[in-house]
Structure 1
Amino acid sequence: MFFRHLLAASCGAVACTLCGGAIAHQSSEVVKQDFNQSIPNLPGKSLVAVEVDYPPGSASLPHKHAKSAFIYAYVLSGSIESKVNDGEARVYHAGESWSESPGAIHRISRNASKTQPAKLLAIFVVDTDDKELTTPVK
């Protein structure tokens, strides 16, 4: 059960790259890689977990993730507004989550509050060779 929650939490949506935890575009969130491990029973796949801190009123630019990436996002604190592909924009509160399928476009990802910080845990199941997890969408 714990692994299922960890796997779910690890597939989250947001802006980061594998290279040193750097973000792939200019925006106001802070991304920190927490975990990067190959999955022994899934050759060629890795599990990558990142924390995304959103200061009050901050946002990520629209972005997409590596083509192989299945993502689970879990709100650790605060509230985050998210819109994936052509779905509806929704505000997720601490303890709530969503997922993103490979090839999805994350059109909105921002702190829903102008006064309180928010934090997201994003967990990726991704091809081990995919080094850039996030690229901006123009």
Structure 2
Amino acid sequence: MPPEAHAHQDTVPGADTPPAVFVRLEVLSKRADFLRAARAKRSGQPGLLLQARDRGDDAPARVGFTCSKKIGNAVARNRAKRRLREAAGLELGPRAQPGWDYVLVGRPGETIAREFAQLRTDLARAIDKVHG
């Protein structure tokens, strides 16, 4: 958003609500961490699959993203991962519990085609199910 857009925020209806906060999470990079998360809790939703595991420490939460070739070519997989990253920053950031690893897995057709608000709702529901 351009800087001048923030200057006129008080004239916009509904501007009294705070903006969504994007939280940067530590990212999983080792295959072993992805495999451990795959053996732990799962929550399948229409737009994504969430795998989560409790590491048993108090370190910050970590998140990983994966999309198989079933999603499509490299362009489609990268688009799906970008959407998952954005949803995770908005939904997982405030809900993530310390000491947990989360892996978001894209679903063929759904992760890209689903409305972003519905994707965020799916992720919020999956997090609540895993921790509930």
TM class, shorter-chain normalised?
A: under 0.3
Larger radius of gyration: 2
Please report the TM-score for the alignment, with normalisation by the length of structure 1.
0.23
Scaled by the length of structure 2, what TM-score is found?
0.24
